[in-house]
């Protein structure tokens, strides 16, 4: 017995795979057209700029999938989702309190070797 209706999961997955495939194809086409004809000296910088644009567009396309994923999880497993939210919030709190400026640096040369 499946925990969730597998057809619903397959429908969500198929819809989002199509969206992501379109983003990938459009991204490749955009990068190729932007780089076509550029001199070698400009290719690296132009490629990095196009890659950043692609990443932004791709992430925007993925966001609705993540939201749907969370909706299904929230609706089907509310207790589990609540625990995940609490654990995530705790992790974010720890991450925000721990940055490189607050971590003590250890002088390894001052530690005697036995």
The answer to whether residue 2 is domain-embedded is no
* Higher per-residue pLDDT: 26 or 5: 26
Instruction: State the residue range of the domain holding 55.
Output: 7-83
Q: What is the pLDDT of residues 60-97, one digit of tens each?
A: 888 888 888 888 888 888 898 888 888 888 877 877 77
The answer to whether residue 88 is domain-embedded is no
The answer to whether residue 102 is domain-embedded is no
Q: Phi and psi (nearest 5°) for 100? A: -65, -25
Q: What is the pLDDT of residues 25-73, one digit of tens each?
A: 888 898 899 889 999 899 999 999 988 988 888 888 888 888 888 888 8
The answer to whether residue 65 is domain-embedded is yes
The answer to whether residue 34 is domain-embedded is yes
Tally the domains of the chain.
1
The answer to whether residue 111 is domain-embedded is no
CB 76 within 8 A of CB 4: yes
The answer to whether residue 94 is domain-embedded is no
Q: Which residues of 81-110 are buried (b: 16+ CB within 10 A; e: fewer)?
A: beeeeeeeeeeeeeeeeeeeeeeeeeeeee
């Amino acid at each position: 017995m499946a925990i969730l209706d597998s057809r619903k999961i397959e429908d969500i997955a198929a819809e989002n795979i199509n969206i992501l495939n379109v983003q990938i194809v459009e991204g490749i086409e955009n990068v190729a057209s932007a780089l076509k004809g550029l001199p070698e000296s400009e290719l690296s910088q132009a490629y990095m700029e196009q890659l950043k644009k692609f990443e932004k567009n791709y992430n925007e396309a993925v966001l609705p999938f993540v939201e749907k994923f969370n909706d299904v999880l929230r609706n089907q497993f509310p207790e589990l989702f609540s625990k995940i939210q609490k654990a995530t919030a705790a992790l974010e709190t720890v991450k925000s309190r721990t940055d490189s400026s607050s971590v003590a640096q250890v002088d390894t040369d001052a530690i005697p070797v036995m």
